Amino acid sequence: MKLLNKRYPVSAVLCLLLLMPFAAHARETERSTSFTVEGAYSPADNYGYGVSNGGFAPIRYDPVENTVFSSPPDQGRDLGSTWGSAKIQALLTHRIVVPFLVGAGPLSSGNNVTFAFTGALSPVSARLEAQATLTPIAFLNVFAGGMIGTGWDIGIFNGMGLNADGSGVPESASFQGIVTNSWVGSTFQFDLAAVVPGDWTHVVAVVRPKLQYAFFSGAEKDQAWMWEADGGENFNGFQFHGTYFLGYQMPLVLDTAGLLVETKQNLGYVRELSPMDIGGWGSDHVEITLSPLFNFALSDASALTVLFQLRRERLYDEPGIFAGYFRNRSAIGTYWDFYRIALSYQLML
């Protein structure tokens, strides 16, 4: 089994949706603790082999053998697999909601500061996160936070290491460094029911831009590194993440349904390392993930969220697509694929 090559991104959005009604009514300090299990399964897709620019890659469980790269350091890779890939992680989060600058009107009666502390464990990593969120008015909040973590190896699965020797196989670095992320951002949130009250008028919209800085202590400025068994294309530098959600909330077991759109792109020097317009590997690529989202309220204390995710990926030229090391590939466009099915189960303790 292969670990999924991207960190699961949905938990922050789910927490946001769950906190919206809570933050709107908090008038005294509130504390809550939740336990979350997140998992995902990705089918095999051959990484866009044989797909035209702008096309959609079908799900294929027939690997394509590397016939181009055969000598060190980059001996290439086969495309696809016979099984796909999966990921699982567990999170324990404690939240403290403190009333702050509370007013008498409907736009300020729920003003607060929320502190969230999370411990997360996956098969190849452990991390701690902390975030503070200020809600100065009902439809807007600003937040800042940070994460520190480390990783280890389990067999062929690497939790952390450099990906800079040209082979495409990250160097093992179990417990030999730390990975940190720090971020700032804001959230605009709107619920039609605030204007048109009623159980069936909850049309919700969320816009959440975030600026993030990632750092691995074992990497120099322009050295790529791997974290949590991902694709090993991380750099010490800034990224912009965008989260956009439009949905409908209803008083049913299926209490939320909508479309989640997530974007991610490099900024600064990383963006200019190897852009697509000069035949590079695509450091300027804007990754877009589209996710129909369904949240089921299983009880007053538990919920299950299901997502079906499509993603816009880089399309490489035919010789370069077999390169094991991403810097030996040349991006010639983009394509879409069925990225994964993701699940998140949350239990309020």
Note the pLDDT tens digit of each residue in 14-34: 454 544 444 444 468 899 999
Residues of the chain with pLDDT under 50: 1-9, 11-12, 14, 16, 18-26
Is this model's pTM higher than 0.75 or not? yes
55: three-class secondary structure by DSSP:
coil
> How far is it between the farthest Cα atoms of the chain?
71
- How does pLDDT run across 283-319, given as a tens digit for each residue? 999 999 999 999 999 999 999 999 999 999 999 999 9
Question: From CA 333, how far away is CA 52, in angstroms rounded?
Answer: 9
Please work out, in degrees rounded to the nearest 5, the angle formed at the alpha carbon of residue 92 by the alpha carbons of 112 and 36: 100
- Report the relative pairing of strands 254-266 and 287-297 from DSSP bridges: antiparallel
Residue 323: other Cβ atoms inside 10 A? 22
| 188: its two tokens | 């605009």
Distances (CA, A) of 331 to 5, 45, 274, 334: 19, 17, 10, 8
- Please tell me the predicted confidence (pLDDT) of residue 253: 96
Q: Which domains does the chain have, with CATH numbers?
A: 11-348 (2.40.160.40)
Question: From CA 291, how far away is CA 269, in angstroms rounded?
Answer: 30
Please name every residue paired with 345 in a beta bridge, in sequence order, or none if there are none. Answer: 37, 304
Q: What residue type is assigned to position 57 of the chain?
A: A
- Please tell me the predicted confidence (pLDDT) of residue 6: 38
- Please tell me the predicted confidence (pLDDT) of residue 108: 67
